Amino acid sequence: MTETVTMTDHEAIRDWAAARMGFPAVVDVSAASGTQPMLRLVFDQIAYQDQDRAERAQNAGGYELVEWDDWFKLFEELQLALVVAAEVPGRRESFHEFIRRP
């Protein structure tokens, strides 16, 4: 079983994502636009895949890259924590999941 670390510190999360070329994103998963946003981190080239597509409805299942300040505002509103794989020398795991804070 892989050791994990739970993070809520904004700078630690930003540093963790930056070390893996991660970017903050929001996905709108609601039937009506703008009502149920879900946080996401996107990595490497995935962050750029949707950028050249034509405009689409906000709730079409895609994600929108956002500024860290906006991402962390939602992170705090939803009282989330980020669980990541513990650092192992020579490896850069991008495993992560969001959980509600206890």
- Give the H or E element holding residue 5: strand 4-7
- Residue-level pLDDT at 93: 87
Task: Provide the 8-state DSSP code for 85.
Answer: E
Mean pLDDT confidence for 10-35: 84
pLDDT digits (tens, 9 = 90+) for 33-87: 555 678 999 987 655 555 444 444 444 457 888 999 999 999 999 999 999 999 8
* Dist. CA 62–CA 13, nearest whole Å: 23
- Whether 102 shows a pLDDT value over 60: the answer reads yes
* Dist. CA 96–CA 40, nearest whole Å: 10
**Number of Cβ atoms within 10 Å of the Cβ of 40:** 18
Domain ranges for the chain: 4-100
